[in-house]
Amino acid sequence: MRRPVRCLTQLACLSSLALVSWNGSAAAATVNPKPTMPKVDHIVIVVEENHSLKEIFGNKNAPYMNRLMHDGANLVNHFAIEHPSQPNYLGLFSGSNQGVKDDKPSHAFKTDNLAAQLIKKHYTFGGYSEGLPKVGFTGPYDLKTNYARKHNPWVNFTNVPAKLNMPLSSFPSDYSKLPTVSFVIPNMDHDIHDGTIKEADDWLKLHLSGYVEWAKKHNSLLILTWDEDDRSQKNKIPTTFVGPMVKKGEYKQQSDHYDVLRTIEDLYGLPALGHAKEARFLQIWNPVNK
């Protein structure tokens, strides 16, 4: 369910389309031009687990996460959609929880989603899950590696090729070979679900710092977000965008998973899915040279 702020925002947007005279009659309409989109060659999205903004932001046990927040567009009024975990992953990936209200790892959908959209437009997608036993694995768990299907949304969609459901070991060391959009999902030891904040921070630095440094010179972007909070801060979660096209700083406008999806879709000219139709393109970018 969308927050009431959406309606207020939509009314504000409508008011910008026309100027109204003092006696209430309509004056000449002024349509805002569509903003020039920044060009982003690659996006990597990392999803962590079950922590609120106040638990991570400024935490001395998360120095790398906080460096990313400092170096990027830090969304300090950003929210997950609901509880528990799985509906948030589905919302971020498809604009809807697909009717799922639990973490049961046994769903199959034919509905549209970000991966299917990208493929249809001749872009590419890859999903990389730490601990996934093999490409295309559809099992609910791997107890040896602490992989959980509930944190892997694309595996639930029959219109996403199985070959795109990959172990983290398939993540290319040559970052130029990355798909247009990738998700990276740590296992439950390293996403702060089971492990500590420090363990997750160390893991993130080990596995993603190379990409972040490469992205600075190769017009690419990292999105670091969380699925939900631990019910301590009304589902306010850390989220930051890091890349050379991003205007660094703190952004206080309220946003959520659907705004992230809408932003990715708009960057690549994709139609908005589900609740992303009601969402906003995030205004976090450096000026674009025409």
pLDDT digit string (tens) for 77-132?
A: 999 999 999 999 999 999 999 999 999 999 999 999 999 999 999 999 999 999 99
pLDDT at residue 28 is higher than 70: no
pLDDT at residue 278 is higher than 50: yes
Centre a 10 Å sphere on the Cβ of residue 286 and count the other Cβ atoms it contains. Answer: 13
Find the mean pLDDT for residues 65-83.
Answer: 98
77-104 per-residue burial string, b: 16 or more CB within 10 A, e: under 16 = ebbbbbbebbbbbbbbbbbbbbebeebe
When divided into structural domains, the chain yields a total of: 1
In a domain, 103, yes or no: yes
Segment 139-155, tens digit of pLDDT:
999 999 999 999 999 99
In a domain, 270, yes or no: yes
Q: What is the CATH number of the domain that holds 101?
A: 3.40.720.10
Task: Work out the pLDDT band at 288, boundaries 50, 70, 90.
Answer: confident
In a domain, 290, yes or no: no
Mean pLDDT rounded to a whole number for the chain: 90
In a domain, 26, yes or no: no
pLDDT at residue 223 is higher than 60: yes
Report the share of the chain in percent with pLDDT over 70. 87
Per-residue tokens: 21: 């005279």
How high is the pLDDT of residue 154? 98
pLDDT at residue 244 is higher than 80: yes
Between 3 and 197, the higher pLDDT residue: 197
Output the DSSP codes for the chain: ---THHHHHHHHHHHTTEEE-TTS-EEEE-PPPPPPPPP-SEEEEEEE-S--HHHHTT-TT-HHHHHHHHHSEEETTEE--SSSHHHHHHHHHHSS-TT--S--S---B-S--HHHHHHHTT--EEEEETT--STT---SEETTTTEEGGG-GGGGBTTS-GGGEEEGGGS-SSGGGS-SEEEEE--TTTSSSSS-HHHHHHHHHHHHHHHHHHHHHTTEEEEEEES---SSSTTB--EEEESTTB--EEE-S-EEHHHHHHHHHHHTTPPPPGGGGGS-----BPPPP-
Q: Is the peptide bond before 84 cis (omega within 30 degrees of 0)?
A: yes
Per-residue tokens: 188: 């439950």
Between 36 and 184, the higher pLDDT residue: 184
Per-residue tokens: 201: 């921070």
In a domain, 148, yes or no: yes
In a domain, 267, yes or no: yes
Give the span between the Cα atoms of 261 and 264, in whole angstroms.
5
Domain hosting residue 122, numbered range = 38-278
How high is the pLDDT of residue 13? 41
pLDDT at residue 256 is higher than 50: yes
Give the span between the Cα atoms of 86 and 277, in whole angstroms.
21
β-pair type (239-242, 220-226): antiparallel
In a domain, 284, yes or no: no
In a domain, 11, yes or no: no
How high is the pLDDT of residue 103? 97
Dihedral sign from CA coordinates of 106, 107, 113, 118: positive
